Amino acid sequence: MANKLSLKIITPTRNMFEGEVDMVVMRTKSGDVGILHGHQPMVTILDYGVLTIKNDGEDRQAAVLGGFAEISSEGMSVLTDAAEWSNEIDVVRAEQAKERAEARLKTVQANIDVQRAELSLKRALVRLSLGGRK
Amino acid sequence: MASMRDIKRRIKSVSSTQQITKAMNLVASSKLNRAKARFNDTKPFFSATQRVIGNVVKGSKGVSSIFMRESEGKKTLVVVVTGDRGLCGGYNSNVCKTGMEIISKKADACVIAVGNKAREFFRHKNVKIAEAYRDVSEKPSYSEAYTIGQKIIDMYEKGEADEVYFVYTEFITTLTNEPKAIKLLPLDPEDFKGDDSEPHSSTLTIYEPDEEAVLDYVIPKYINTVLFGGMVESAVCELSSRMTAMDSATENASEMIEHLNLVYNRVRQGAITQEITEIVSGSNALE
């Protein structure tokens, strides 16, 4: 395969991934999008979701929690606040976070708490969806 | 002249101080290595975010964002990053002075103090403190930068501040670092035009959902990133200036001990000479 997409995944604290891949599938605000080599330049906002890297018939998955992706002629960079490979996810912690968030949503208080609880529930669900099927 | 016992006591106290400064120097230098590694890890994210904003700003003429509106500079917010603790040379006071310079030029200014020393300094100067954060300086995390960024954006959106400056310390080498002030908000599109080396096909770029949404999303991210980068850099500076300060303190203590030893020996010699003179004169008197 000559035509590969060069991909970088960067979080504030580390360079998570840098290399050539066949295809990237990610969850944007408007749905799942797959990116191949030679894509038109694009900037898109990412939702909380699973990012799949397809390379030589192998899949590698990561939980990506927000951020944005930039695709230019040189390649693609994913900039995110937090991201974890599927094997790095702490399932127990995510499970606890999920329960906590659900409990908080049941006892509705101020508006801002609901938003925060919903966000942390979303984060926990993304992590669990990956961590569970390792 | 001080008595022998006094000098002895003095030497003891200086050398125990020296032990402390030496230990602090070692602690700071090992922490510095770790902080430097963190600093290098944050760089790529920072430059990539800046590039994306640059591309969006350049490629999209006439996009309006509240983060780019003209400001009158009436209500100024200054974010100052210092350490929580002293004993690091001029590090804390240099940053605070730079912050104060901006504040003294503005009619209405308030401060977000990151680090204990900034809070103490501005409280002493009677500057209004909008918010103070502590226990962040040595090992800043992104979530802390996020909290601070959120606070800034909140104040900006509510109109409690219409321009925001960020004062931190720039790391040049281990021996030199300089306080630096940058304007965080409103964002000046001109700032991003300079770093354009390759001609960009930005007119063809797709923005999802649209340019303004991307800008409104990316700019707060950018602010968080700048804050985080500045905090990490300041941590490196704090540790390096503590290291140099403690290094010179240890050296000064050595010099002082050397000098005190000299005085001590001289006093001891004097006492012995005196004793001999007394004995000799005593035996002379008996003869």
DSSP state at residue A42: E
Please say whether the beta carbons of A71 and A41 come within 8 A. Answer: yes
What is the pLDDT, as a whole number, of residue B200? 52
The verdict on a CB contact (< 8 Å) between A79 and B206 is no
A96 and A80 assigned to the same domain: no
List of domains in chain B: 31-189+208-241 (3.40.1380.10)
Which of B207, B208, B223, B232 is most worth mutating to test chain A (most A CB atoms within 10 A of its CB)?
B208
Q: Out of A13, A29, A77, whose CB is closest to B208?
A: A29
DSSP state at residue B170: E
What is the pLDDT, as a whole number, of residue B104? 87
Please say whether the beta carbons of A6 and A19 come within 8 A. Answer: yes
* Mean of all residue pLDDT scores within chain A: 82
A42 contacts in B (CB within 8 Å)? Answer: 205-208
Of the CA atoms within 13 Å of residue B45, those in its CB half-sphere come to 33
Instruction: Identify residues of A whose CB sits under 8 angstroms from chain B CBs.
Output: 8, 10-15, 28-30, 40-45, 67-68, 70, 72-73, 77, 79, 81-82
A101 and A58 assigned to the same domain: no
End-to-end CA, chain A: 28
A56 and A18 assigned to the same domain: yes
What is the pLDDT, as a whole number, of residue B279? 94
A51 and A62 assigned to the same domain: yes
Q: Out of A15, A45, A81, whose CB is closest to B214?
A: A45
- CATH of residue A15's domain is 2.60.15.10
A45 and A104 assigned to the same domain: no
What is the pLDDT, as a whole number, of residue B199? 47
A71 and A29 assigned to the same domain: yes
CB proximity list for B5: less than 8 A, separation 6 or greater: none
Q: Between A2 and B255, name the one with better pLDDT.
A: B255
Give me the domain span that covers residue A108.
89-131
A105 and A40 assigned to the same domain: no
Q: What is the pLDDT along chain B (287 residues), one digit of tens a residue?
A: 578 899 999 999 999 999 999 999 999 999 999 999 888 888 888 877 777 777 776 666 556 677 777 666 678 889 999 988 888 888 889 999 999 988 888 888 889 999 888 899 999 888 888 888 888 777 888 888 888 988 898 888 888 888 889 999 988 888 888 898 888 877 776 666 554 444 454 556 788 777 778 878 888 888 888 898 889 989 999 999 999 999 999 999 999 999 999 999 999 999 999 999 999 999 998 87
> pLDDT of A116-134, one tens digit each?
777 777 788 888 777 665 4
Buried b (16+ CB within 10 A) or exposed e, A102-134: eebeeeeeeeeeeeebeebbbbbbbbbbbbeee
What are the start-end ranges of the E strands in chain B? 75-81, 108-114, 128-133, 163-171, 177-185, 206-208
Element (H, E) at B237: helix B211-286
A102 and A79 assigned to the same domain: no
∠ CA B225-A9-B38, nearest 5°, is 50
- CATH of residue A101's domain is 1.20.5.440
Beta pairing partners, B78: B111, B165
Please say whether the beta carbons of B162 and B55 come within 8 A. Answer: no
Give the Cα separation of B195 and B152 in Å (integer): 26
A55 and A9 assigned to the same domain: yes
Q: Out of B42, B52, B228, whose CB is closest to A70?
A: B52
| Residue B87 tokens, joined | 């004993």
Complex prediction ipTM: 0.74
Give the Cα separation of B204 and B13 in Å (integer): 72
Q: Out of B45, B52, B207, whose CB is closest to A12?
A: B45
DSSP state at residue A108: -
A16 and A43 assigned to the same domain: yes
What are the start-end ranges of the E strands in A1-95? 5-11, 14-21, 23-28, 31-35, 42-45, 48-55, 58-65, 68-72, 75-79, 83-85
∠ CA B132-B135-B138, nearest 5°, is 120
| Residue B240 tokens, joined | 């390096």
What is the pLDDT, as a whole number, of residue B60? 60
* Nearest-neighbour CA in chain A from B107: distance (Å): 34
What is the pLDDT, as a whole number, of residue B189? 66
A35 and A14 assigned to the same domain: yes
What value does the mean pLDDT take over residues A8-19? 86
The verdict on a CB contact (< 8 Å) between A12 and B205 is no
Which of B36, B42, B45, B231 is most worth mutating to test chain A (most A CB atoms within 10 A of its CB)?
B45
The verdict on a CB contact (< 8 Å) between B51 and A70 is yes
A108 and A74 assigned to the same domain: no
What is the pLDDT, as a whole number, of residue A109? 61
B108-114 and B75-81: which strand pairing? parallel
Give the Cα separation of B41 and B216 in Å (integer): 26
Give the Cα separation of A90 and B29 in Å (integer): 33
The verdict on a CB contact (< 8 Å) between A12 and B202 is no
What is the pLDDT, as a whole number, of residue B277? 95
Domain count, chain A: 2
Q: Out of A11, A28, A43, whose CB is closest to B56?
A: A43
Please say whether the beta carbons of B129 and B111 come within 8 A. Answer: yes
